[in-house]
Structure 1
Amino acid sequence: MTSAGGHTGTTAEHRLFADVLSCELALPVSIATSDSRGRQAQAVTLLSGLAQIEDLRKDDGGEEHGDLPLLAQRMDAKLDLILALLGRLARQVDGMPEHELRWSRHGLRIDLADVPALDAGTPVLVKLQPADWLPDHVELPATVLDVVGHRVWLAFADLRPDLAEALDRHLFRLHRRQIAEQRRR
């Protein structure tokens, strides 16, 4: 579990996050050594579906659904609660624990309690639940850049162009949501 190829945590951090949009959040995620390319077509479908849902919700009315009838607002809130509950239950079943991470179009930095024995250059498959309310995950091929303490830096590898584009759009939405939450505080 040491750096190879001259990478250090600082070098890996720069490679993944310098001059690109990134988000820091806690999501269910797991990593496992694998040469698999993952289920990239399914990941594109899932991320595209999330984008459509979020666009529809944004276009429902004014800020925070202000133009929707009260009954529709209540139903929307109940659906949000049910989906969040299903997401939590699914995480308990599939064993994908929530971890703090930083995410960009280039890769991830994950803070793990128990770091698996990984060396720089090891191919891995990342399973990541992109929305806390949706009990489904994407599988992304990556390569370990570095492991320092409880942090692992992973660079995405061999992503399909449509998946890279879907990830960019998803990250933009996450970033926009984080900024909106910060403004509300």
Structure 2
Amino acid sequence: MNHERADAALFGDALACEDVQRAAFLPQALDPAWVETACARAEIHLSAIAVIEDSRNEEEEGTQGLALRRIEAKLDLLLTLVGNLHTQANGDSRVQLKWSAQGVRMPAGSDCTEGSTGLFRMQATPWLPEPLVLPAQVIACAPGEDGTPCQWLQFGPLPEPTRAALERHVFRQHRRAVAERRAQRDL
């Protein structure tokens, strides 16, 4: 598949984000039982992130709210420290990604082979050291827009609840990126 068709398949009708994240693709055969377990873990992972990030937007009132914000700040600091320790031990490098709930475009190694399956691993949030792991298949290998080798990975097979959780996560990431661009523009 050429890169235009791969882009259309992964990003054509889907909300997409462009980020620099710690990520990797690990080619390997996918065992159906493992795929089911990985998808269940990914759904739990994404749902927990949603609960934590959405709760930060709620306004608490009174001294109980202030105390909860202090505890939350301490937990944020602790998670950041643990995340940094894990990042130092984790070999995944930061790469430029374009991704949606359908899949991802990322730099490819020399061994990129269309049709190969494996695990896509990404640090879904900077404060959580545990990576998000999804089953994926390489649907295209080609030079990207800047000429560097890229691979297009289609996630799946994903059960509907996992896909829905991934779509919500992409939406929150997109909303955060838009807010950051606006804040920078307003400075």
- TM-score for both structures, normalised by structure 1: 0.83
The aligned amino acid for 2:106 is I
Q: Root-mean-square deviation (CA), in Å? A: 2.2
Match of 1:132 among 126, 131, 137: 126
Q: Secondary structure at the match of 1:39?
A: helix
Instruction: Say if 2:105 and 2:151, in contact at 8 Å, map to a contact too.
Output: yes
Shift of 1:86: 2.0
Q: Deviations over 1:83-131 (max 9, x none)?
A: 223212212212122211011111001135xx14021111121112211
Q: Supply the distance in 2 between the matched residues of 1:103 and 1:128 (Cα, whole angstroms).
A: 11
Residue 20 of structure 1: aligned partner: 14
Runs of 4 or more off by more than 6 Å in structure 1? none
Aligned with 1:33 (options 21, 27, 36):
27
The aligned counterpart of 2:95 is 99
Q: Does residue 90 of the first structure (1) align with residue 89 of the second (2)?
A: no
Corresponding position of 1:65: none
Could you tell me which residue of structure 2 aligns to residue 11 of structure 1? Answer: 5
Question: Is the 1:39–1:138 Cα contact (8 Å) retained in structure 2?
Answer: no
- Residue identity over aligned pairs, in percent, reads 35
What is the number of residues matched between the two proteins?
Answer: 172
Q: Which residue of 2 aligns with 1:146?
A: 140
Shift of 1:47: 0.6
Please state if 1:111 is matched with 2:89. Answer: no
Counterpart position of 1:159: 158
TM-score in terms of structure 2 length: 0.82
Which stretch has the larger CA shift, 74-83 or 151-160? Answer: 74-83
